[in-house]
Amino acid sequence: MNKKIRISDLGRKDYKETWDYQTSLLDEIVSLKRERRNGESKIETPNYFLFVEHPHVYTLGKSGDINNLLLNEEKLKEKEATFYKINRGGDITYHGPGQIVGYPILDLENFFTDIHKYLRLLEESIILTIAEYGLEGERSEGETGVWLGVGTPFARKICAMGIRASRWVTMHGFALNVNANLGYFDNIIPCGIRGKAVTSMEVELGRKISEEEVKEKIIKHFKELFEVEEFIKA
């Protein structure tokens, strides 16, 4: 089992371009798995982890409701935002500047074959990261992602998650609001959940947060939780 991960920071990159890149990596891994199964190759399957920041974009998961997008095409243009219906789980969410988006593209057969465990460890990596800033991240029953104030009238989501897996290979991932403009969430019903707010590390802590520092902490906790042998910069 290959527990090394090739890590790349793509900087600010168009959503569709990044989605296509993720798909190409997933297809590469699935193809290699097929060759290994057929005895045509003994090459270990690679794993990838992409950090990226997207220009303003709304994405709707495969089981999502388009009515949770509260903007028409004209208003999207006014907001300089794009919209895509995509192949991850979950409903609608927003990505934009000031948000750390992470896309682990892993062959889970290198780690464990349990999607529920995968999602819980993704959440835990964020919970442990924001705990270093004094924020108590929590899970909300039946709602994937990381929240603050669960069980209070002030429950608010700080990190959204949605994934896709094919033959135990993952794509898509998480979006942590660090210094994001939360006004863009007013144009959707985030994750299709009414009556719950969205927050960011900046709002909670009252100051700008170093996104590079947060990425380093995410990687540290991800490495421990997933028992990663090594992160290799690509």
Residue boundaries of the structural domains of the chain: 4-233
Residues 98 and 178: beta-carbon distance below 8 Å = yes
**According to the annotation, is 88 in a ligand binding site?**
yes
214 alpha-carbon distance from chain centroid: 14
Stated as kind and residue range, the H or E segment containing 166 is: strand 156-166
Placement of tokens 């290979």 in the chain: 169
Q: What is the pLDDT of residue 193?
A: 61
For residues 187 and 184, give the distance between their C-alpha atoms in angstroms, rounded to a whole number: 6
Q: What is the pLDDT of residue 140?
A: 93
Taking each continuous run of H as one helix and of E as one strand, the counts in the chain are 5, 12
Q: What is the pLDDT of residue 160?
A: 94
Is residue 191 flagged as an active site residue? yes
For residues 184 and 196, give the distance between their C-alpha atoms in angstroms, rounded to a whole number: 15
Neighbours of 29 (CB within 10 A): 24
Instruction: Report how far apart, in Å, the C-alpha atoms of 234 and of each of 9, 120, 210 are.
Output: 9, 26, 22
Sign of CA dihedral 105, 145, 130, 98: positive
For residues 199 and 172, give the distance between their C-alpha atoms in angstroms, rounded to a whole number: 21
Could you report the per-residue pLDDT of 210-231, keeping only the tens digit for each?
999 999 999 999 999 999 999 9
Stated as kind and residue range, the H or E segment containing 220 is: helix 211-225
Sign of CA dihedral 12, 130, 156, 202: negative
**Average pLDDT score, the chain:** 95
Nearest to 107 by CA among 42, 50, 17, 171: 171
126 alpha-carbon distance from chain centroid: 10
* String of DSSP letters for 37-105: HTTS--PPPP-EEEEEEPSSEEEE-TT--GGGB---HHHHHHTT-EEEE-SSSSSEEEE-TTEEEEEEE
Q: What is the pLDDT of residue 90?
A: 83
**According to the annotation, is 95 in a ligand binding site?**
yes
**According to the annotation, is 118 in a ligand binding site?**
no
Q: What is the pLDDT of residue 6?
A: 98
Q: What is the pLDDT of residue 192?
A: 60
**According to the annotation, is 183 in a ligand binding site?**
no
Q: Mean pLDDT by 10-residue block, N- to C-terminus, for the chain (234 residues)?
A: 97 98 98 91 94 97 90 93 92 95 98 98 98 97 93 94 96 97 90 76 98 98 98 93
Q: What is the pLDDT of residue 44?
A: 94
**According to the annotation, is 56 in a ligand binding site?**
no
Which of the residues 50, 127, 163, 191 is marked catalytic?
A: 191
* Both tokens assigned to 57: 């974009």
Q: What is the pLDDT of residue 229?
A: 98
**Residue 53 DSSP label:** E
**Residue 35 DSSP label:** H
Q: What is the pLDDT of residue 234?
A: 83
Class of domain 4-233: alpha beta
